[in-house]
Amino acid sequence: FPLIDSYTKIDANVTCRHLGFIWGNFTYHSFSRNKTDYMLFENPNCTGTENSLFNCPGKINIRVGANICGECALIILLCSFRV
């Protein structure tokens, strides 16, 4: 699950395309206790034209790991229609 912080529907669409889907959205989830690795992407700032999260201007803010956030709110991606 990505962690919430300035995540938008545009970012969700790009994330879903990155995963091989056509479009997507997100919903809020419960708080993390960091029992697994998470991806913290504080501000993807995608424009909507990217096909990969790694092409978004905010890519420099990505962190992955088990202890990147004490108790952060999470999002769940809702992706549809595989490419």
- CA dist 44 and 5 (Å) reads 9
pLDDT for the residue 17: 93
Instruction: State the pLDDT at residue 21.
Output: 94
Q: Which one-letter amino acid corresponds to residue 76?
A: I
Q: Convert the pLDDT of each residue in 46-68 to its tens digit.
A: 999 999 988 999 877 777 766 66
- pTM (predicted TM-score): 0.72
Can you give the chain as a three-state secondary structure string?
A: CEECCCCCHHHHHHHHHHCCEEEEEEEEEEECCCCCCEEEECCCCCCCCCCCHHHCHHHHHEEEECCCCCCCEEEEEEEEEEC
